Amino acid sequence: AGDGDCGHTHARAARAIQEWVCTRPPPAAPAHLLSSLADLLLEKMGGSSGVLYGLFLTAASQPLLNRNDLPAWADAMDAGIGAMQRYGGAAPGDRTMLDSLCAAAQALHALRSPGTDLLPVLAAAVQSAEAAAEATRHMEAGAGRASYISSSQLLQPDPGAVAVAGVLRAVLEGLQ
């Protein structure tokens, strides 16, 4: 969909992150880690995805400046999504990466409940993101590059939504 560069830009981002992690230890403070990742992706990823991830991560870092509890991570997800919506102009249901992000965020709201265990909530968020990505297969593109293509030609799930679900799955697997 779009101009077909989603896989290339995500591969470029993955290589840049691998190189970054191999050359220096990532920052331990969550806010600094997300901010550094934002800078890296803005510089190395390219495309609209790089800008959107940069916006997301920069905004997501803010709730984590003075907190690192589980509710702060739910707040970080909401802040990142808000920035993407504000600057990118898309909304859930537009057949974009926001569909997966918003589905995951809904599940992550459980982190605000006292005594919540992170891994089961994150696993539910990943499942929600994957289901939302698959659901984009049947959506009309309301934003992003796919919106320039006839709906009859959009036969696969939105690549950005699939990529977001994949990133979230990788985070879960890394934490497990």
Instruction: Output the CA–CA distances (angstroms, integers) from residue 99 to 23, 106, 149, 176, in the order listed.
Output: 34, 11, 18, 25
Check residues 6 and 143 and name the one with the higher pLDDT: 6
d(CA 106, CA 90): 17
Residue 101 — φ and ψ, nearest 5°? -60, -45
Number of other CB atoms surrounding residue 160 within 10 Å = 30
- Averaged pLDDT, 11-39: 95
* Stated pTM of the model: 0.88
Number of other CB atoms surrounding residue 95 within 10 Å = 27
Domain at 5-175: CATH code: 1.25.40.340
* Mean model confidence pLDDT for the chain: 89
The gap from C-alpha 11 to its chain's centroid, in whole angstroms, comes to: 15
Assigned token pair, 21: 């992690």
Helix axes 47-61, 97-108, angle to 10 degrees: 20
pLDDT reported for residue 35: 97
